[in-house]
């Protein structure tokens, strides 16, 4: 690039795509692609807000953001597909399997044993797929 050329500012969608690739890899892209035929606008919203605006903020690194996300999804107890995607994302950004298991176990205190059990079984599936 010459000194007179300028790069175009990244859009929220572009930032979101970049963040999604770093965090979720193919798992996140699969979710976005799966929405293309039924709700492409929602796919854009998913890229722009959580990934383009929130995940790219300063203040927390991606590893910390995934700890929070895994804990929240595990506590919900109703978001197993998303929990699995974010457990894989946690591995992608440096969480160990042991740390993910501990996050799930911690949820027994605040969300109950059923939520913790569901999260642990989700982790078991993610780890088996990653092996």
Q: How confident is the model over 104-128, as pLDDT tens digits? A: 999 999 999 999 999 999 999 999 9
Residue 32 binned pLDDT confidence (cut-offs 50, 70, 90): confident
Q: In the predicted model, is pLDDT for residue 81 greater than 90?
A: yes
Q: Could you tell me which of 103, 98, 131, 99 has the C-alpha nearest to residue 119?
A: 103
pTM of the prediction? 0.86
Answer yes or no: are the C-beta atoms of 34 and 75 closer than 8 Å: no
| H-helix segments, 1-131 | 12-23, 26-35, 40-46, 62-76, 80-92, 97-111, 113-130
Q: What local confidence, expressed as pLDDT, does residue 98 receive?
A: 98
Q: What local confidence, expressed as pLDDT, does residue 7 receive?
A: 62
The CA distance from 19 to 25, in Å, is 9
Interval 50-63 mean pLDDT:
94
Cα-atom radius of gyration of the chain, to the nearest Å?
Answer: 16
- Percent of the chain surpassing pLDDT 90: 79
- Sign of the CA dihedral running 69, 73, 74, 79: negative
């Amino acid at each position: 690039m010459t000194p007179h050329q300028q790069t175009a500012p990244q859009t929220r969608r572009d930032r979101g795509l970049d963040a999604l690739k770093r965090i979720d890899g193919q798992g996140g892209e699969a979710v976005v692609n799966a929405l293309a035929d039924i709700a492409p606008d929602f796919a854009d919203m998913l890229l722009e807000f959580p990934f383009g605006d929130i995940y790219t903020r300063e203040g927390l690194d991606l590893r910390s953001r995934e700890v929070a996300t895994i804990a929240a999804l595990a506590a919900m107890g109703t978001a197993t597909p998303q929990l699995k995607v974010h457990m894989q994302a946690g591995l992608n950004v440096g969480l160990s399997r042991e740390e993910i298991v501990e996050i799930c176990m911690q949820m027994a205190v605040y969300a109950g044993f059923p939520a913790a059990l569901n999260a642990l079984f989700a982790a078991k599936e993610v780890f088996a797929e990653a092996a």
